[in-house]
Amino acid sequence: EITDKDSKMVTASFYLKPTDIASLDFSKYVYLDGVLFRINKISDYNMSSPGPCKVELIKVNHTQY
């Protein structure tokens, strides 16, 4: 997906709760505006005071290989 010519990377701010982080699975897909994405990276998350953090998503082009 990273090297595909049709791949897209999106960086957005999300409010994630500690329960969201505890149940996070990077292999699961995320739907955003009807488009399928995979979480690539989460940065700027503070466990002691949850708030908006940066989430980097990669568009899923093929669900089967």
Q: What is the DSSP letter of 15?
A: E
Residue 36 neighbours by CB distance under 10 Å? 13
Classify 52 in phi/psi space as left (phi over 0), alpha (psi -120 to 50) or beta.
beta
pLDDT number for residue 25: 92
pTM: 0.79
List the pLDDT tens digit at each of the 65 positions of the chain. 666 777 788 999 999 998 999 999 988 999 988 889 999 999 999 988 888 999 999 998 877 65
Q: Is 21 helix (H, G, I), strand (E, B) or coil?
A: helix
